[in-house]
Structure 1
Amino acid sequence: MFENTSLFNSKNTKSNFKQPLADKIRPQTLKELVGQKHLLAEGKPLRRIIEKRIPTSLILWGPPGTGKTTLAHVVANEFQYPFEKFNASIENKAQLNKILNSHPNESFVLLLDEIHRLTKPIQDFLLPHLENGHVLLIGATTENPIMSLVPAIRSRCQIFEFHPLETKEIEKMIIRAANEAFDYEIPLNVAHLIANTGNGDVRTALNVLETLFAMYEKELTTDQVKEFSRQQHLNYDKDATQHYDYLSAWRDSIEGSDADAALYYLAVLLEAGDLESVVRSLKDMSALDLGLADSERSIQVITLANTALEIGLPRASTHVAMATMLLAVSPRSDSIMQAYRRAAADAKNANQHPMPGYLRDSHYKGADKLRGAGIMKNMFAEPKKIARQPYLPADLIGRHYYEPAPNKNEQTLYYQYQKLFEYIYGKKFKKNDNLTHFEHFNPYQE
């Protein structure tokens, strides 16, 4: 049972509609939060940080509508700190300074939205306030912070990845919202369909609920949810067994080189509005199925998939149909998948294979004298722009992980692979006969 801690007192009054439903029923305590069990279940790291009031800044990254902003509110409530919000994409240093000056003698939580867009001048301005405890920063981003944030900010924060919510988790929020905002005991089958439309994004699902209730009030039915979802190209049945059967049939048809079957099952999926699952699978299959047999076509498939996502349905159907056709009629190769698996087998015992010292990190002062890091040949100063020096651990030199599939592209690549080894190491390339083979390796299984 959810506690009623919504940001309004009376129910179903005119003032209720002045703010989005997602804001009205935003959870205010750890107990009310849904999702992110890998971080917030009992004993998990992020929950411990909050429960023990550990004043460490956080970077939360993941898809929209997964609870990043909500967690910032919860942290402020649990720490009993004032809450402020700053958007790095539209606000400037003067606005940030105004926020800082409004809390001259107290610590406060600063939700920094779109933190990956933070400019360097603002970063430099903000850093002292992080270090002296004035600001408890919670950065929210949809971009991988390892790639998008500068080390100065990253090193002062703990990073946690948020995942899309499960349908049953969003369903709880739909039931609570209907009850608190509309005094409506929503039927479970209706709540479930609306939860599915979010595709892991609780805000999207709540927006659908708010719109549908305004249209139909307490007469809301499953047919109305389905019709509305189709019009908006939302996915109301993505967790149905039949839906996953069609997704599997489409992939299997592509991998079986049956273009007609693949196009048919694709049409079933797109008519149900599930473009996102199709796009994810196309990107996945471009590497897993084509591999190095036709790397240019793999890039074409990825480009078509990305374009489809930008354009959206219905026009995007042509782009994903083209990508499906390209995949279905292309040559197959899993050689790079096999190569990685062989390398991974050695990597499990990485401590037994010490790397050459000059490959070690050399960004800090004295690294060259302390560890020999960075003392290596400059490839640009060498003939052919290739530095002839060992890169593999000494005991692994001569172990070759890549074995080509019998297609023209990979035979050309394999020749280049052999000659580069011989040039770098000054040894004759000898094919390994003792490598582990993964002839029946299934990438979809652990």
Structure 2
Amino acid sequence: MKPLADRIRPTSIEEVVGQEHLIGKGKILNRVIESKVINNMIFYGPCGVGKTTIANLIAKATNKSFYKLNATNASLSDIKAIIDELDNLMNVKGVLLYLDEIQNFNKKQQQSLLEYMENGKITLIASTTENPYHYVYKAILSRAVVFEFKPLKKQDIVKGLRRALEIIKKDYSNIKISIEDKVIDYISEISDGDLRRALNILELSFYSTNADENAKIVITQEDIRECTQCKIFSYDNNGDSHYDILSAFQKSIRGSDVDASLHYLARLIKAGDLPSICRRLLVIASEDIGLAYPNAIAIVNSCVEAAFRVGFPEAKIPLAEAVILLATSPKSNSTIKAIDKALKDIDSIYISEIPANIRDGHYEGAENFGRMKNYKYPHDYENHYVKQRYMPESIKDKIYYEYGDNKIEQSAKEYWNKIKKN
């Protein structure tokens, strides 16, 4: 018997759960299916959210010959075999090629499709779990429309599970199946937006539970726990999820949302990604807290060193300490703004030579070049300050650093305004 995920696969767009932004009434893919005019498309999104299902439904809506390849195990010869059949009488209306996991095709394999996409003999629908703008050849991207598929919502998975239960009951009409709503909810919670995963869990729990003397199977939450052991967490150290979580992590700390910050820290801890956590915390300490609380980086550095020393699982404690400190600290981005302005000028404008009075003069003959001539040693003056020129002449009036509006930087501003005015 086919797996439950295949037996439940929708045969019409109305049976598909989720992706309302694409297949809802009047939405783009719904209109495409109704029009039967198919363009090159790339479906981008996580596993188990309906990419293959919708591609199959689109294929049924067209009169083109339908071919399906999985880039994980397909080769250039498979593509050539399809191309060789393009002039076949069966293919006079063209070919619709569904290429699953296109990110596994190299550049040469992807390029082999271009000519036939260009002349309309092949209409490509490709799917990928990786960001197509990173993994798909640009020439193909320019000839296709990218559609992003979202993780399914809990209610979508519940709907799919209920439909699957009806199919199981129909296939095993001699057995009574009992499963409480809270158990279905639990499966939807631990499936991480992946309907295929939810269906596999339900199927495994059904086959692994023995019927009682009354030919009745009762599926409990404990049965589900035994089948799954723990909630599966989607994370790819080199993929979109990695950078998305790190981005959300930093933005939550920057936004002073301590609870969201801890949530994203927990995701990173669950993935065991200690180096990424520590690197990002040190960056945040300077980029987002900066001079509003200069000691933050020293404390965070100590927490990072402690985390590396003790390792997981105990590393979670100093890491959480660092996150809470940063999220609840006053914020200032004056440091990164200042250095970015300075770097931009280095790259974009003419900069004259360093003033002679502050150039190196510790060598024989330096006086002949005017090195350190008229240099004033600030520590010889009141308040360890004396006015003299440090900037190159061409940018002498440039201002890179602007004091932040926090207590520490405003205090420093007041101090130097007073000193320099005197």
Same fold (TM over 0.5): yes
1:94 corresponds in structure 2 to: 77
CA distance in 1 between partners of 2:124 and 2:299 (Å): 43
| Structure 2 letter corresponding to 1:26 | R
| 1:79 counterpart SS class | coil
Establish whether residue 196 from structure 1 lines up as the match of residue 189 from structure 2.
Answer: yes
1:224 corresponds in structure 2 to: 223
Q: Deviations over 1:87-123 (max 9, x none)?
A: 2233211012223445532423322122123222222
For the 8 Å contact 2:69–2:99, the answer to whether it is kept is: yes
- Report the alpha carbon displacement of residue 144 of structure 1 after superposing the two structures with TM: 1.4
2:33 corresponds in structure 1 to: 50
- Report the alpha carbon displacement of residue 157 of structure 1 after superposing the two structures with TM: 0.4
CA distance in 1 between partners of 2:136 and 2:203 (Å): 36
For the 8 Å contact 1:36–1:165, the answer to whether it is kept is: yes
1:206 corresponds in structure 2 to: 199
CA distance in 2 between partners of 1:427 and 1:80 (Å): 70
2:165 corresponds in structure 1 to: 178
CA RMSD of aligned residues (A): 4.7
For the 8 Å contact 1:29–1:78, the answer to whether it is kept is: no
- Unaligned segments of structure 1, at least 5 residues: 1-15, 236-250, 305-314, 341-378, 391-420, 438-446
1:166 corresponds in structure 2 to: 153
Residues 95-134 of structure 1 aligned to structure 2 (within 5 Å): 95-102=78-85, 104=88, 105=91, 106-134=93-121
Instruction: Find 1:428's aligned residue among 379, 398, 402.
Output: 398
| 2:134 counterpart SS class | helix
1:41 corresponds in structure 2 to: 24
Residues 35-434 of structure 1 aligned to structure 2 (within 5 Å): 35-102=18-85, 104=88, 105=91, 106-183=93-170, 184=177, 186-216=179-209, 218-229=217-228, 231-234=229-232, 275=270, 286=281, 290=285, 292=287, 293=290, 294=297, 317-318=313-314, 320-321=316-317, 323-328=319-324, 332=329, 334-336=331-333, 386-388=347-349, 427-429=397-399
Distance 1:120 1:211, change over 3 A: same
Distance 1:181 1:256, change over 3 A: closer
| 1:219 counterpart SS class | strand
| 2:147 counterpart SS class | strand
Distance 1:90 1:430, change over 3 A: closer
Q: Deviations over 1:160-200 (max 9, x none)?
A: 11110001101111111121134357543322222222110
CA distance in 2 between partners of 1:424 and 1:118 (Å): 52
- Report the alpha carbon displacement of residue 83 of structure 1 after superposing the two structures with TM: 3.1
For the 8 Å contact 2:281–2:322, the answer to whether it is kept is: no
Distance 1:227 1:116, change over 3 A: closer
- Report the alpha carbon displacement of residue 23 of structure 1 after superposing the two structures with TM: 1.6
- Report the alpha carbon displacement of residue 38 of structure 1 after superposing the two structures with TM: 1.5
Distance 1:330 1:84, change over 3 A: same
CA distance in 1 between partners of 2:184 and 2:8 (Å): 16
CA distance in 1 between partners of 2:346 and 2:230 (Å): 54
Q: Deviations over 1:7-27 (max 9, x none)?
A: xxxxxxxxx2xx322122111
For the 8 Å contact 2:97–2:125, the answer to whether it is kept is: yes
Q: Deviations over 1:131-153 (max 9, x none)?
A: 22222211111221122222200
For the 8 Å contact 2:96–2:122, the answer to whether it is kept is: yes
For the 8 Å contact 1:178–1:186, the answer to whether it is kept is: no
Distance 1:219 1:388, change over 3 A: same
CA distance in 1 between partners of 2:312 and 2:285 (Å): 22
Distance 1:132 1:210, change over 3 A: same
CA distance in 2 between partners of 1:68 and 1:389 (Å): 53
CA distance in 2 between partners of 1:205 and 1:189 (Å): 14
| Structure 2 letter corresponding to 1:47 | N
For the 8 Å contact 1:170–1:202, the answer to whether it is kept is: yes
| 1:140 counterpart SS class | strand
For the 8 Å contact 1:256–1:328, the answer to whether it is kept is: no
- Report the alpha carbon displacement of residue 316 of structure 1 after superposing the two structures with TM: 6.3
Identical counterparts, % of pairs: 29
Establish whether residue 24 from structure 1 lines up as the match of residue 23 from structure 2.
Answer: no
1:244 corresponds in structure 2 to: none
For the 8 Å contact 1:288–1:334, the answer to whether it is kept is: no
Distance 1:109 1:388, change over 3 A: same
CA distance in 1 between partners of 2:121 and 2:315 (Å): 51
| Structure 2 letter corresponding to 1:428 | K
CA distance in 2 between partners of 1:116 and 1:424 (Å): 50
- Unaligned segments of structure 2, at least 5 residues: 171-176, 211-216, 234-251, 291-296, 338-342, 352-390, 407-422
CA distance in 2 between partners of 1:323 and 1:172 (Å): 39
| Paired residue total | 309
- Report the alpha carbon displacement of residue 337 of structure 1 after superposing the two structures with TM: 11
CA distance in 2 between partners of 1:122 and 1:190 (Å): 45
| Structure 1 letter corresponding to 2:320 | T
| Structure 2 letter corresponding to 1:40 | I
CA distance in 2 between partners of 1:297 and 1:54 (Å): 57
| Structure 1 letter corresponding to 2:399 | F
- Report the alpha carbon displacement of residue 428 of structure 1 after superposing the two structures with TM: 2.3
For the 8 Å contact 1:72–1:138, the answer to whether it is kept is: yes
1:415 corresponds in structure 2 to: none
For the 8 Å contact 1:171–1:191, the answer to whether it is kept is: yes
More displaced, 94-103 or 421-430? Answer: 421-430
CA distance in 2 between partners of 1:100 and 1:297 (Å): 58
For the 8 Å contact 2:76–2:109, the answer to whether it is kept is: yes
